Amino acid sequence: LIHGDLSEYNVMLKPEIDIVIIDVSQAVDINHPNAKEFLKRDIENINRFFRKEAGIEVEDDEAVFKRVLPCLERRKEGL
């Protein structure tokens, strides 16, 4: 699934460094025609928060997208 509206308000951190993503009611399947666009937007939104609000150095948005894309493509192919 692609969240489609990922932001700092949809990420919960549990004490043991577990990450929980919530509010996935608008998520789309990876085969959705706009899935890649939504994924890019999700990456931009969450990276912006970590950079500006949390002061954490994160990888460039495009680099994250390129890192995630092969996994997305494999899942689309059912591998």
CA angle 68-38-42, nearest 5°?
65
Q: Is 29 a catalytic residue?
A: no
Domain of 25? 8-76
Is 60 catalytic? The answer is: no
For residue range 14-67, what is the model confidence (pLDDT) as tens digits? Answer: 888 788 999 999 999 999 999 999 999 999 999 999 999 889 999 999 999 999
Q: Which of 23, 29, 42, 61 is catalytic?
A: 23
Tell me which H or E stretch contains 53.
Answer: none
pLDDT digits (tens, 9 = 90+) for 6-21: 999 999 988 887 889 9
Q: For the domain that residue 36 is a member of, what is the CATH number?
A: 1.10.510.10
Q: Each residue of 37-55: b (16+ CB within 10 Å) or e?
A: ebbbbbbebbbebeeeeee
- Please state the domain count of the chain: 1
For the entire predicted model, the pTM comes to 0.85
Q: Write down the catalytic residue from 5, 29, 42, 61.
A: 5
